[in-house]
Structure 1
Amino acid sequence: MTAALPAGSSPAEEEPPPGEPLPPAPGPETEDVTGEREEWLSKLLYGRVTILAPNGMINTGVLYGGQRMNRGEGPAGESPAPPPEQAGPVPKADLDEALTAFVEPTWFGTARTKLDTGLLLLSGARRSGRRTTALNLLSRYPGPPILHAVDADADLSTWHPAENVKGYLLDGSPGMLRRGVVDRLRARLAAARTRMVVVLPDDPALLDRLEEELGEAPVPCLPPPATAIFARHFEHRVPSAADRDRRLGWVDGKDLAETLETGMAPAAVVEVVARLAAMNGPPADGSSVFDSVEGFDRREARLLVESLRNDPAKLAFLLSVCVFEGLDHRLIRAEADRLLTVAAGRLDITVPGPPDGSSAGVDVRNPEFVLRHSLSELLHAIRAVQSTVEIRHAGYPFRAEPVSFAERGRARALLEHMWRQYSRMGPLMTQWLEGIDNRVELTLPTGEFMGMAARWSGGSNSLGHIRELTRSDRWTSREIASYALGVAAKDALLAKEIKHRLREWSTQANWQSRWTVARMCGTEYGTTRPDEALGLLHRLAGVTSGGHLESVVLQATVALHNLFVRGDRDAVFQAVRDWADEDHPVAGIALRTFPALLNHDRDWFGGQLTSGGEWSGPIVDLTRRGLDEERHYANTCRVLLHWCVDAAESDELRSAVQMLLSRLAIDVSHGVLRLFVTIDRNEAPDPACKDIAAAALRDWREGGASSAHRAQPSPSRAEWTYT
């Protein structure tokens, strides 16, 4: 396998796809988290690696419209408002939709009796079926099959019905509904042998005023049980009982039953039925038929919340009811009061101005107000849009609702303008972005921005903001710096400065800077400049001051690995072989890197061994060195044991590992002896490998004292600082 390892990030339960950054670790950045990342990288280097298929993007867009009389698309994240009622005939399609599979509510007869007087006032919440019921009531009367809509702002004191119209529908809050106006309206409707239903909003103040003025209360529109609506519409949309049963088997039946029993608006029930009827199989992404379907839609939620912005007590009560719906009102009010205490003023839209200054004694906007700006307001203000839901991956799947500008390149233009025109913006942006969480979806765009900002800065200190990140103790900040340097290096002038800076940082006592250099060598910057990267790694390996040597060495090891699998294998392996012969800490990095290369590119190493290529001898020598060095024995032995186990599944690998073990058996040094004992005692290795190990052990035992010297630990050529 030749997948390049990510040069840094955080641990996760799954290995990443080739060349992908590691998924992020949750929680704040601490030494423990950094240690977990390094431990995970080590497992990737020397353990078994599963190459995952690239993650796909799944679109699970929310549906809009198509619900009873609710038409058209709305902006992302918000259900559309019904269009204003247009005066004139009700479209046949709308009427047919309203009459189809209609379920009569229990009060339908009462409403019919009221409508017999010529005028019916019908009140209810949006999506409760008010308009659908009104159209059904009017359709039950004899006469021409024509229903008309009336403008919501029509003056009913002067309005007159036309001839040959069965009924009228007025959806809104007409003014001037006094007793005399209503009496004269009823008389005109009776003369024309027609009727009218006025659909009113569920506004307690309005309804109380009408009842007091007219001496009669509007009929409340209480929808029939959601289960009855579901059954009627499902049977209409899917006539086959067997087909209905099959579709119900594709969804969570318990979830469906419980949701319907707790009550859903008729429009929402009809949408659920439409989704079930349109399904071709179980949802592939585990979504529910109820996703984004609300009995109380987003627009109405927005309107209600906005109406309470000036009243913290009612806002707290609303939140309490939403959370504790169904509990005793005393508990709900108590929790609402406690929320007000916890909020400590954050539910107040205004606060008293400071006692001194022009705002003394005047209420000012509260900057801590939690409902200060809604997402919709913010998006509208900057002309951005919110896209439909997508399934994304970061070691685990999650739903994302991306926000972007409608115009391509707008974000870059805005950032460049602010960075160039406002000199104090740069330090603020750097301080802000340095503290982001270690999540790939955040670090990549941050690094991209920081790199572009270097190109916008110009001058002799264009890399100053990135330099600050390279000195950080936070893994994430240094990760961002490496991304940013890679982006900035695409500029020819900056590339020269970056090359100079990396050489300078590679020998500094500051370990964070050397870590960043090692990280850069394993990225695209290094793989496209392999000679420069190898030179930088060689330089930084000779520095042993500054602490945190293990972190620097691990990054250097990963960088060598990535240079090997993404570039010139011969050149990188030659460097590893040459470094292993040096009497300074560079040898430690070479011997630490070698088993990682052996683990991740069996084809190349196997081909060298079986063909007797120019590197077959050095491969055997480095293997022996790794086994004999106590600090590197565990990793080298682990990789070779994996080779022996997997040889049972591959003739090519079996031939290569047999060749390697046979050449090691010629001189059974201390480390080789330990390897053969491990293979001999393990049940998993391929029989051919076990035979070679057993034969070598037998020869060693029979050799007695004459061979005993070969099994002693080889004298260390140096106590490597790097392990």
Structure 2
Amino acid sequence: MSAGADTTPRSHGPDSDARPEPEPSFRDNRQQLDRGLAVMGAISGDVTVINAPLDEAVSDRIIKPRLREGPYPVDEVRDRLHGFVEPRSYAQSRKVLNGGILVLRAGSGTGAGTTAFALLAERHGAGGITGLDSPDDLSRWRPGEQRGYLLQGLSPVAAAALGEVVLNGLADLLRRLHAHLVITVRAETPLPGDTEPWQVVQHAPLPGDVAVKRLRSMTEAGQLTPEQEAKALGHLVSADFADYLNAHPLPRDATAVAEKVGELVVSGGTTTSALDELQTGSPASARKALAESSHRADSLSLMAAISLLTDQDRTVIEEFSSILRPRIDERDSPAADQDRTRTLRNVLGPSFEDRLEAVGARLLSPRFGAAQRYPVQPVVFSGSHRSEALLRCLWLEYEGMAGLLWKALAETPHHSGIELAAGQAIGKVLAHATGPYALRQLASFATSDRRWHRRLVAYALGEMVEHPTLTGAVRGQLRQWSRSSHVPLLCTVAETCAGSYGLARPVPALALLDTALDNPGKELDGRLRTAVSFALSTLLSEAANHVLVLDRLRGWQETEPGSQRHSLAVHAITSMSLTAFPAPGAPAEQRVRLVDVLASQPEKAFGLVVTALDDPATHDSIARGLSLIESDPKLRRHAAYPRLLTALSGAARNHRGVLRFVLRRHRTRTAPPAERIPS
């Protein structure tokens, strides 16, 4: 038995370039392992290993989605509109939307999404906006209530099917409900000519206005004093920064300028250096930096490490760089190897800080987090957005570099948080990739036995699906994976649902989990049970999903005993009845107790309790959970327990398990103390 960091043997397919695992050896009645715990002889019962290294020290942080299919939480809408500046086309957009529908054409980065939120919030409030999936035929969609509906990124198929007849029909339905619909469309997507009356071309807000609004927000947040804000505003109107804003007019660029000017007045520095750092985040600057370092494997590996592993400690950056460097060196020509042999070698090499300076990066001050056992000193590039630009250029424009980065990641020991940093960075890169390989290259990590590899894929897919043009491709890939019989791949599907993808699309996410548990004849693997439980807990972290999850659990409870769906439901009901679901120690965004479900969703919880009492696999645990609630006055009040008992008594006639519970409770309460049945 092995209790090492990876207890499941790693599989190396034909496309895997990972180094083979060292084989354990057995000699002279002794077994030698590369790592872990060896046990000889028979074991009866459980074995507890104290202080065993865990592979599961993995980031379970949930990234909130920016795009949703369903109601947007009020706080998210308010946060998005906090720094909103009306674009020049805002008045025209408001006028067109008065008719019920607005088709907002926009180039990338012009702020069309935020404009759409502002327009709908004016009419329906921050809590009255619902996101829509992009259907292939919008004529089939029907508004359900008086709300603002937002469809971001109309697909080319749906755009081609859009027309005057469809829009007039939808506008009539929306007017009857006093509802509104905003559709954002990429500028390059063709639309039928008869849709022109509903179209408005989005013009980005003036960059100077965006920068001023950002500086004022920084002052409100306490990042700048009023005196510093006044000084920063003076810098902003100077000729150098005004020229930069004229050349870079998008809201993201203006925000970066404001933050750089704020940094300038707080920390000091020159206007020239600030402008130089702003320029380093452009694709052209990234290409230039990579070209200048094309002969230096140490510089390239360091730039890749900083770009890929944002916010990681300097030691993690150094380690990844040292793993990647020899792989880049292997790309050198034989002539380069001969040249190296003719020159004296510097066996010490430059210091880490000298190497950082050479690639335009620097160390931040050490920081201490509440969840960290040691200080962390991150490494950052001096310029805004430089990491993203460098990694995208390196990954997409240089043959073979993506493969080298994947190989280096596979060889890198796990450090807490690298799956989040690398997953988000890779997702941002792949959002700009083309062709079928954009998603296929995730497969080796998606099928890995290591959980941090699977979490990395989940974070990458969550980032990619924030781009409307990729939603269909990501959803299709997850559907394909969910039909696999390979447990790690099914775990990756569940891990993806335990994040922004699941929160943005709860109905499709539950359908994926349902498919992942559809493997007749197979017992539920513990890893899959943990991953699905994590996904359900993530969905339960938002009140809008409670009914969907409880209905799904009840449906799984009613499936054939022994099936994976039934086993998952039994695990969930047992956990929430006796302690909490997911069980303590398992990954969870929010743990749910039976008493909480009874209090928040009494009608749905009643159905779940009845089904659980009727099922022999969960009868005892749910009965015990109800008894624990009844015996605690505070929990009894919180769950409105007398009302539940009345409802159960009324249902007992038609449900054998409920009748058994009611009669047992009656006997327990009426019997003399010496004869009472233990609960």
Could you tell me the TM-score, scaled by structure 1's length? 0.41
Structure number with greater Rg is 1
Could you tell me the TM-score, scaled by structure 2's length? 0.43
